[in-house]
A and B are shown apart, each in its own frame.
Chain A
């Protein structure tokens, strides 16, 4: 059996993971002040319950679990947990299908052009606009690279729910990016693909 995590190891793990933890917190909390509070509160909880981490090899999953549960708890406290779907939601929205033009195969690549012009801020805004229930799963999977099983364990939900929330989150995110571009905020990429279809 692996030795329990001691203070020295906790410090080493924290140094290694702090930027990632803050990056996830920032995308969840959506502003630096709340992200700092979220990280500090999560680290304080982790430090106070260090004995509950039986296998130090699982430190990353353990600390991210504390972070996400702290975030969800805070949302519930504030009454801001949102399960609502945006008013304009379309099922299985695909940005690629909106952009792709087979006839342009040899003359251009509008979807690539769109991605090139897509600003980090546009994507950030789309991500932060997702309802919390989807944003948490997208952050853990797409930004942090956790497996579906690890996310299911962290959030204590079935793996099928992880998969469906991720699919819905991805669809909503692509839809938000598209609507953002319709408002003319993603450069002129769309102008080159003939507008909405």
Chain B
């Protein structure tokens, strides 16, 4: 038996961002996942959005400079705080 998507492309694309952010109800999530698995065009779109999202997430990865750590130690009032 051929597996058919339970939702169409329009619905899948409308829900794609919430799907990637894991914000859909389980049944909705499964429906988008199934659609993306079976529809090549939507799979390509989902992969693109997922990779772009990963690149964006990477922008938050920074190392706090020693100056910030020193300022926080000062705020906390003594030298007990360390960055181990």
Contacts and interface: CB of A to CB of B under 8 A. Distances in A.
Contacts of B83: 15, 18
Interface string A118-133: 1010011001000000
B81 A127 contact: no
Nearest to B56: A142
B55 interface: yes
B61 A40 contact: no
Find the residue from B23, B64, B69 having the highest chain A CB count within 10 A: B64
Interface string A157-197: 00000010011001001100000000000000000000000
A193 to B, nearest CB: 13
B21 A141 contact: yes
B56 A39 contact: no
B59 A127 contact: yes
Contact of A32 (B51, B60, B65, B76): B65
Interface residues of A, number: 49
Contacts, number: 105
A143 B48 CA distance: 17
B23 to A, nearest CB: 6
Interface in B45-84: 45, 48-49, 51-53, 55-65, 67-69, 71-72, 75-76, 80-84
Interface in A89-107: 95-96, 99-100, 102
A5 interface: no
Given A115-B55, A143-B56, 8 more contacts: A15-B81, A36-B68, A43-B71, A100-B44, A100-B45, A102-B41, A111-B48, A148-B21
Interface of B: 17-18, 21, 23, 41, 44-45, 48-49, 51-53, 55-65, 67-69, 71-72, 75-76, 80-84
